[in-house]
Amino acid sequence: MDRSLTLYEIPLPHENLDKAHVQETAFYLQIMTILHDIYALQRAIIISGPKLGESVVDGSVVSSQVAQSFSFVKSLAGVLCEAYECMQFGYYADNRLALKCRGFKKYKVRNKFIKKYNMVDLDSVYEPLMSKDAKNAQEALEKYFSKKNLLRRLRNKYAFHYDFQEAVKNIRKFKEIDDPHIILEESSANCCYVSANQWLILRALQVKADEKKLKEKFEKLMEEAVEQAKNMADFFHGFILAYSEKYLNVDMSKAKGSTLDNVMFIDEIKFPFFSKRRQT
């Protein structure tokens, strides 16, 4: 099986970037940093769970995989919601999401910012330059994030926040857990707080402690996170290619790259919860 990748190093000369409106270049560079976060979390979700066909019988290992996966997926939910807000503000110069999510004060501040930098709707400029895949991804993102959704709920309550008031109000949900327990080890890094994580999942997904329903809701969350991560990556990648062609004269069909050999397949990589340091 082919383990090679072809990599293309694209120079970013300052004189070329200066030809673009500051809004275009800032969005171009900002979404690259967002994509690093999305890719890192996507990989972490894939490699932290059980492999296809792998039979895991140790309950501690299963519990640790669930805890680890949920940590990554709620972080991904937060990143995707923040990325969509960046897309609304930076790409469309549309400030309505700030009014809805952050309040009127934030809305007024952003309006001043839009006027100061003469920001425009980049969609009207880039729509003809974007690939079909990027346009389809853009449409899917707008459809998903324009209404209430599971990712936004996680972002608002659990992704980057530890709301103690919410925890107190929902302490009763802990009583729904059968056989609550935690796993301790001499090293704090190998402790798995199993039932605390179960409690978090019950609160975040707004579900009863019913194994079947919980599994269905968890799988739905994973499915939505993975799908919207792909849509965000496809749209951002489409913009990066369009900008690169417009200002850097990049033609990927003619670009010469360097080959990276012996690349690992993603299903060969495993990110276990329990680990030990080598004794020196």
3-state helix/strand/coil string of 199-224 = HHHHHHHCCCCCHHHHHHHHHHHHHH
Answer left, alpha or beta for residue 224, where phi above 0 means left and psi between -120 and 50 means alpha: alpha
Q: How far apart are CA 40 and CA 48, in angstroms?
A: 12
The pLDDT assigned to 278 comes to 82
Whether the model pTM is above 0.85? yes
Q: How far apart are CA 217 and CA 213, in angstroms?
A: 6
Q: How far apart are CA 238 and CA 242, in angstroms?
A: 6
Longest dimension (CA), the chain: 64
C-alpha 36, offset from chain centre: 9
Token pair recorded at residue 174: 């802990």
Q: How far apart are CA 77 and CA 72, in angstroms?
A: 9
- Per-position DSSP letters for 23-83, written without gaps between them: HHHHHHHHHHHHHHHHHHHHHHHHHHSPPTT-----HHHHHHHHHHHHHHHHHHHHHHHHH
Burial 211-247 (b: 16+ CB within 10 A, else e): eeebeebbeebbebbeebbebbbbbbbbbbbbbbebb
Do 205 and 101 form a contact (C-beta atoms < 8 A)? no
pLDDT tens digits, the chain, 280 residues: what are they?
Answer: 899 999 988 899 999 999 999 999 999 999 999 999 999 999 998 888 765 555 555 778 888 888 888 999 999 999 999 999 999 999 999 877 766 766 677 888 888 999 999 999 999 999 999 999 999 999 999 999 998 899 998 888 888 888 899 999 999 999 999 889 999 998 888 999 999 999 999 998 888 877 788 888 888 999 999 999 999 999 999 999 999 999 998 877 777 789 999 999 988 888 888 888 887 7
Closest to 244 measured CA to CA, from 35, 36, 19? 19
Report the SS3 class of residue 191. Answer: coil
